[in-house]
Structure 1
Amino acid sequence: MDYPESYELVFQAPAVEDDVVIVRRTERAGAGGYPVYEDESGIVRAEISDRGEVRMQASGGHQMLKTPLLARPLTP
């Protein structure tokens, strides 16, 4: 199956606008067998299924993971 190269993860932010993070596909797969995506810093990491379901993954200790409101595939 072909998976998108990147997604926008949209998180609800306390400010006026939502927080948007762009993540790119890595070579890794998550526990569900789907690709793991991460942002440029490697801090935001998520497994995204073929149906757009998101499972956030901790990239370090003491992270408080929030599930995004939306995972929007980006087209090249």
Structure 2
Amino acid sequence: MEKTALETLTEVGNIPESVVRLAAPDQDLSTARFMVEDGCYWYEHSGPVEVTLVPLRSEGGSPICLKGYVDA
């Protein structure tokens, strides 16, 4: 069974090359995923106690989101 476009978009570690180029260093892109709830990319940060989802950010510090994304 083939994946839908949304399933492919939200798959962990499956982020477009354009997003990879925008992302600041020291973020675990292998855990990054698109979140339909807010239209932004998030990644897993492994802290000393727990793993937390945090926004994937550009070199300038802005979260990386799809402009105009609406969860239909």
What TM-score, normalized by structure 1, do the two folds share? 0.29
Higher RCO (C-alpha 8 Å, min separation 6): 1
| Structure with the larger strand share | 1
| Structure with the larger helix share | 2
What TM-score, normalized by structure 2, do the two folds share? 0.30
